[in-house]
Structure 1
Amino acid sequence: MRTFADRVRHALLFEAMALAIFIPGSAVLFDQPVQDMGVIGIFSATIATLWNFVFNVGFDRAMLRLRGSVEKTMAIRVTHTFLFEAGLVAMLIPLIAWYLGIGLWAALLMDIAIVTFYLVYGFLFNLAYDRLFPVASTAAPAQPC
């Protein structure tokens, strides 16, 4: 299991590297000023982090009340993911549209591209992170025969 310090390193590296790629890349892709995409990137990452905490606490409390357990089946995990993303989209789309002075449809398309980037980036980042910073095995060493 990863230590608290390792989790902090993971979170900071994840966000710093994502923003280093996202800000200039999205400025080119969406033909927007780098400064504006920097604001969108930092603001979106902050909102997503806060929403992640609030949503997961609320979801677990609801599960305890409704099911008596926080154990998640595959169907509950899928529902959890869709509800999380729907809430994030509902918060970010109007803010992106307002800040950039674009329509809601354009903001939705932009958000879909951002979510796609983060899905691919998160997968690749975690593969690389696990190779660069492997978790020490907690299993007892094998006894020689």
Structure 2
Amino acid sequence: MRTTRDRIRHAVGFEVVGLLIFAPLASWAFGYELHQMGLIGAVASLIATGWNYLYNLLFDKAMLRWTGQLRKSVVVRVLHAILFELGLLVVFLPALAWYLNISLLDALVMDIAVAVFYMVYALVYNWLYDIVFPVPSLKHAAARPDGAAAG
């Protein structure tokens, strides 16, 4: 399992990099001012950071319980990203409609576009994060010739 410090690094890095990409891209794509998309992104980021920590902790515990390990196949990574974004979609839809003074349908279309962006981003970010910062027990197992976990 990952440590609390590692989970915090993961969540903060995910949100900072995501916001730096999201705000200018969303401003351009949706035609709103950069500061509006930046505020939406920042508030969403704060909520998503907490959700990211909790969701990944629960997902890892579920993986350990159901599979006995933490290695994620491509299919599991895609499922991981989709479930994460669905949770955020439920929270952000009413807030987005209210802040931009748009209909729930318009907010849904915008939210789906943002969710698709973040699903792809989450898949890539999490995959790269696991390569750069492997789970300690997996790193030790990979270093041993027999593939068994060290210790």
TM-score (norm 1): 0.67
The answer on whether the counterparts of 2:94 and 2:104 sit within 8 Å (CA) in structure 1 is: yes
Q: Partner residue of 1:112? A: 112
**Rg: which structure is higher?**
1
Match of 2:32 in 1: 32
Following TM superposition, by how much is the alpha carbon of 1:5 offset from its aligned partner in structure 2, in angstroms? 2.0
In structure 2, how many angstroms separate the alpha carbons of the residues matched to 1:46 and 1:94? Answer: 17
**Which residue pairs with 2:124 in the alignment?**
124
Distance 1:96 1:7 in 2: 28
Counterpart position of 1:63: none
Corresponding residue of 1:138: 140
Distance in 2 separating the partners of 1:31 and 1:128? 31
In 1: Cα distance, 2:50 partner to 2:135 partner: 27
Task: Give 1:72 deviation, angstroms.
Answer: 6.5
Could you say which structure has the greater relative contact order, defined with CA pairs below 8 angstroms and 6 or more residues apart? 1
Give the Cα–Cα distance (whole angstroms) in 2 for the partners of residues 96 and 8 of structure 1. Answer: 26
Over 3 Å counting, the alpha-carbon distance change for 1:7 and 1:91 in structure 2 is: closer
What is the Cα deviation at residue 49 of structure 1?
4.3
Identity %, equivalent residues? 43
Q: How does 1:16-55 map to 2 (within 5 A)?
A: 16-50=16-50, 53=54
The amino acid of 1:131's aligned partner reads: I
* Partner Cα distance (2:26, 2:117) in 1: 10
Unaligned runs of 5+ in 1: 58-70
Partner SS for 1:138? helix
**How many residues get paired?**
124
For 1:141, give the aligned amino acid: R
Report the residue type matching 1:15 in the other structure. E
Tell me by how many angstroms 1:131 deviates. 2.4
AA of the residue aligned to 2:130 = D
Shift of 1:95: 1.3
Q: Give the conservation status (yes or no) of the 8 Å contact 2:15–2:49.
A: no
- Per-residue deviation at 1:141? 3.2
Q: How much has 1:88 moved relative to structure 2?
A: 3.8
Q: What does the per-residue CA deviation read over 1:57-100, in whole Å, with 9 as the maximum and x for residues that have no partner?
A: 8xxxxxxxxxxxxx669xxxx8xx76x82x64343222111111
